[in-house]
Amino acid sequence: MQSLPKPSSLFKEKKSKILQQLAVPDTEYSDLSPKGSVDEGIRYLIDEINTAEGFVTTSSCAGRASVFLEGRKTRAAEGENGEHEQVARVGGKGAGGTWLYVSHDAWSGEDATHLDWMKSLGFSDVDEIELPEESLGERRLIHFKFEPMILHVLTASLGHAQLLLRCALQAGFRESGAINITSPSSEQTTPMVAIRSMGLSLESLVGYQDLDGQRRRIVSAGYFQMLLQISNERFVENTKRIERFRSAFKDTVLEPQASSVPKKLNPEGKEWEDAAARRERLRAEGLRRKAALQAEKPSSPVQDIDVQLQIDSPF
């Protein structure tokens, strides 16, 4: 591993605060995602990154399939001074957008068919496709999305960021990048790395909600089923890339850092070992001595008799 600078005291302070937040129970932790906690599917990866010196995760998503109802459209409202003000944004959660479905796992279909799943989204009639009228300006669109893993990692230096980006790119997260790579002051820069792969993303318009609050679909049931199948396939590929990234991070960062830590020595100057390691070492040494002694013993009596018979035989 390339020589990296030691993390600054400012970075260590930031990392400590972030880890304190991550250490709280899932029921108390919250972030900007709909789930509001670290996804179980990548918790092991988050823990491994956070044990490494110079790295700390700030937000994450293991990958998800979702159905999202847009917020109300932007309207211009006249303020007290006669100026126009925005009251809502299209698609923004602050504008009343709603998650109709969110899952961080592939859809199994064991408990319900895709038709049952469509009904659970609140569509008024799953047997009928209803295209919106052109004049229906207040309709709110409904999107189906698949989003692969995205991970934001605060790093202690530009060197740390470059090392992390190399692992991400090798694993297939080709749209990964970094910000804050320069510092306006004399303080050591702490780049933020985003690990992502937009090539696996999928988004499709599937319906709308009218003024009466009725949800209408604009695609066939077969199309919905195909979206679920494609998202399942991408969950599989997403998992493969996560494992490749984990392996690259382990080989490039974790193992070199572990080998660079000075080994603890006992009073005799040898490497310190705990009781379990000592028992295992003594057991292995005993087996080696036993095997060596058996190898030094003379041939068995049975072998001697066979040799004598061969000598005395007239044949």
Residue range 3-15, pLDDT digits in tens: 888 999 999 999 9
Helix, strand, coil tally for the chain in percent (to 5): 40, 20, 40
State the sign of the Cα–Cα–Cα–Cα dihedral 298, 301, 302, 304. Answer: positive
Task: Provide the CA 28 distance to its chain's centre, in angstroms.
Answer: 21
Average pLDDT, the chain: 79
pLDDT level of residue 250 (50, 70, 90 thresholds): very high
Q: Which is more confident, 151 or 136?
A: 151
SS3 302: helix
Separate counts of helices (H) and strands (E) for the chain:
8, 11
Q: Read off the pLDDT of residues 158-197 as tens digits, 9 standing for 90 and up.
A: 999 999 999 999 999 999 999 998 877 777 889 999 999 9
Higher pLDDT, 38 or 249: 249
Q: What is the DSSP string of 228-260?
A: HHHHHHHHHHHHHHHHHHHHHHIIIIIHHHHHH
Please name the residue ranges forming H helices in the chain.
9-22, 43-51, 114-120, 158-171, 221-249, 255-260, 275-296, 301-312
- Residue 22: pLDDT above 60? yes
> What's the whole-model pTM score?
0.71
Percentage of residues of the chain with pLDDT beyond 70: 72
Q: Sorting pLDDT into bands at 50, 70 and 90, what band is 55?
A: very high
CA 59 to chain centre: 10
- Return the structure tokens found at 173: 């997260």
Question: What distances in angstroms separate CA 278 from CA 100, 146, 268, 284, one per listed residue?
Answer: 57, 51, 15, 10
211-236 b/e (C-beta count within 10 Å ≥ 16 → b): eeeebbbeeeeeebbebbeebbebbe
Question: CA dist 106 to 31, 55, 61, 79, 233, Å?
Answer: 23, 30, 14, 47, 8
What integer pLDDT is reported at residue 89 of this predicted model? 40
Whether the Cβ atoms of residue 37 and residue 31 lie closer than 8 Å to each other: yes
Residue 86, SS3? strand
The confidence band for 77, taking pLDDT boundaries of 50, 70 and 90, is: very low
Q: Which tens digits make up the pLDDT trace of 209-220? A: 988 888 999 999
